Homo-oligomer: A and B are copies of this chain.
Amino acid sequence: MATYKHFLVDTPAPYVAHVQINRPKKLNAFFEEMWLELKVVFDTLSVSPDIRAIILSGAGDRAFTAGLDVQAASEAGVLKQQEGKTSDVARKAVGIKRHVQEFQDCISSIEKCEKPVICVMHGIAFGLGLDISTCADIRICTSDVRFSVKEVDIGLAADIGTLSRLPKVVGSFSWVKDVSLSARIFSGDEALRVGFVSHVLENKEAALAKGLETAKLLAEKSPVAVQGTKELLNHARDNKLADSLRYTGVWNSAAIQTSDVERAMLSGLKKTKPRFEKL
């Protein structure tokens, strides 16, 4: 595994990577250098043949992440950067748009990662923490987690993905609007009830154990099948049924020709664990 400045990345089990946001003294709050590196981490794992499932969590006891480092942003963030350059509203707007798109692209790298990502959240998970977690495939949390779509409290509509993805990962639009408009804190139990997370565990250790168990389960399956399933589900979310079926047929016209099908079937009959070629 490569070494990163702001992230700890190790492999707790075969084919499983664990990525930790590693700025615990600042509640894992993000500044620009960090999200640029986040993209490098996930772009690398996406095509690494040694990785089949990824766990994403926050280092330390207190937070998954407190979100954007507001102090850093006010000193060196996009508004600060625009200030010196121009006073023209339209030109500032172009600068902001470029910045937001780059920021979005960095966070979207989690969703675009070909391998499934399991996000394990504890303590504080505010603002950017939700942008990040809505990009993950499976969400797990602790019972003490405190979630908030925090942006409204700093005068902003969240723009790094939460407002785009939350209505597509949770079915209750009334709840989505409630938490997004009010910035109120909600708990792991509430998150489970509405389907934002799949599991709530008693503490960080247990939540990570659950994440690892799930990651190992996925890593034992055919990577052709698992990665195809992620791709097809993400495609389905965004497309009409007929388009999704058509895309699925074309996808599988190559994927089904894999030797994994035969290996998986034989292992099923023989009750052995199949081994699959790297991908």
Is there an interface contact between B245 and A161, defined as CB atoms closer than 8 Å?
yes
Partner of A79, one of B98, B254, B256: B256
25 contacts between A and B (CB under 8 A): A90-B256, A91-B258, A97-B250, A97-B253, A100-B248, A100-B249, A101-B249, A137-B181, A152-B222, A153-B221, A154-B265, A156-B261, A157-B255, A159-B248, A164-B244, A170-B171, A172-B196, A172-B198, A175-B195, A178-B198, A181-B218, A182-B218, A182-B221, A237-B241, A247-B250
The residues of B that contact A251 with a CB separation of less than 8 Å are: 157, 159, 250
The residues of B that contact A79 with a CB separation of less than 8 Å are: 256-257, 261
Residue-wise interface mask of A (66-101) relative to B, using a CB-CB cutoff of 8 A (1 in contact, 0 not): 000010001000110000001011111110111011
Is there an interface contact between A195 and B194, defined as CB atoms closer than 8 Å?
yes
Q: Copies per complex?
A: 6
The residues of B that contact A151 with a CB separation of less than 8 Å are: 225, 229
The residues of B that contact A26 with a CB separation of less than 8 Å are: none
Given A163-B233, A181-B229, A253-B100, check contact A261 B154 (CB 8 Å): yes
In the bound assembly, the distance between CA atoms of A164 and B108 in angstroms comes to: 22
Chain A contact residues, CB within 8 Å of chain B: 47, 70, 74, 78-79, 86, 88-94, 96-98, 100-101, 104, 108, 114, 116, 137-139, 151-159, 161, 163-178, 180-184, 194-198, 214, 217-218, 221-222, 224-233, 236-265, 268, 274, 276-277, 279
* Cβ distance A239 to chain B, nearest Cβ, rounded Å: 7
Interface of A is mostly: helix
The closest CB in chain B to the CB of A165 belongs to: B241
Partner of A265, one of B70, B240, B244, B262: B70
In the bound assembly, the distance between CA atoms of A251 and B170 in angstroms comes to: 23
| Given A97-B253, A159-B232, A170-B173, 15 more pairs with CB closer than 8 A | A88-B259, A90-B260, A91-B224, A92-B253, A94-B227, A116-B181, A138-B178, A154-B225, A155-B263, A156-B255, A166-B236, A168-B236, A175-B198, A238-B241, A242-B242
